[in-house]
Amino acid sequence: MIDRRELLMMMAAAAMTPSMNAAPARLYPIGLGTWQTFDVSDPKPLAAVLSTFVQLGGQVLDSSPMYGRSEAVAGDLATSLGIRNKLFVATKVWTSGRAAGIRQMEDSERKLRGKIDLMQVHNLLDADTHLETLRRWKAEGRIKHIGITHYTSSAYANVEQYLRRGGIDFLQINYSLAEREAEKRILPLARERGVAVLINRPFGAGSLFRETRNKPVPAFAKELGATSWAELFLKFVISHPAVTCAIPATSKVEHLRQNMNAGKGPLPGEAMRQRIAAAV
C-alpha cells in the first residue's frame, strides 16, 4: 500500500519535470464536482456540503457553463460562506469562436466571484482557438493554469495529441473501475509530460454502485481505512500515480464525508488494486 505522503512526493516530482508547466503538486486528492448537483434554484441545502468540504480539507471545486446555474450557485455560496479564497476553482470554456469564448470566460469569472485557478477547454471544443486565448490570459496573470477535458475514450487520440503538443497544465479525464481505458496511454503520458490530472466519472456515472448494490464491502477494505464502496472506488482512482484529484459530485453531506475519507490513510498498491477490481 502507498502512503499518502509518498504519493504527494511522487506528484511533486512529476510537477517539477524540466520544461513542463508548473502545476500545483499538493492538492487534496478528493475534490467536488458540480454537474447537476449545483444546478438548483434553492442553494441553501448545498451550503452545508460546501462548508463541510472545506472543513475536511477539500480544495478543488470544478464547474462549467454547461452545468446550468452551477457556477453562480457555487460562487455565491463560497462568497457568502467566506471560503472563496480557500478553494482551487476550476471551470471551463464551452463554445466556439474567440470572442464567444472570451465572453463566456468573463461571465464565469463574474459568476464564480473572482479569479479562476484553472480554466479548461471543455471536451476540446474549438480547443486551438481557446488555448491561444488562455495562454495569453495565463501570461497576464488572469488565470493560473490551463487545462483540457474529455469524458469518453473515443476522444483519447485527440487528447493525446494535445498532451504531446505541450502547454497544458491540467488534464481532466474519465477514469474508474468501470472505465479503465485511460490507464493504457493517457494517464502514463500525462505523468510523463508533468501534467496534473483531474478525474471525472470516478464512479463510472453510477454504474459501480449499481454493480455492488447487494454486495457487502469486502473485509480487506479495513486495511485501507475504508468503510464504504465509495471510498474503495475513490482510493482505487487516486492511487494511480498519474492522478492528482478525483472530483465526484454530491449534494449530500453524508456522501461527501465518505468521499473525503478516501483521501485519508493508506492507498492501495498494485496487489490491492487488483483485489478491489476483483471484488467489483
pLDDT digit string, tens, across residues 44-73: 999 999 999 999 999 999 999 999 999 999
pLDDT at position 14 over 50: no
pLDDT at position 17 over 50: no
pLDDT at position 160 over 60: yes
Proportion of the chain above pLDDT 70, given as a percent: 91
Q: Is the pTM of this model over 0.85?
A: yes
pLDDT at position 19 over 90: no
What mean pLDDT value characterizes the chain? 92
Q: Is 75 in contact with 50 (CB distance < 8 Å)?
A: no
Q: In what order do the strands lie in the sheet with 245-246?
A: 32-33, 60-62, 88-93, 116-121, 143-149, 170-174, 196-200, 245-246
Domains of the chain: 4-18+26-279 (3.20.20.100)
pLDDT digit string, tens, across residues 236-264: 999 999 999 999 999 999 999 999 999 99
Q: Of 251, 258, 233, nearest to 180 (Cα)?
A: 233
Q: For residue 205, which amino acid is it?
A: A
Residues 6 or more apart whose Cβ sits within 8 Å of residue 275: 218, 220, 268
What confidence tier does 26 reach under pLDDT thresholds 50, 70, 90?
Answer: confident
CA distances from 115 to 21, 91, 136, 224 (A): 19, 11, 15, 37
pLDDT at position 126 over 80: yes
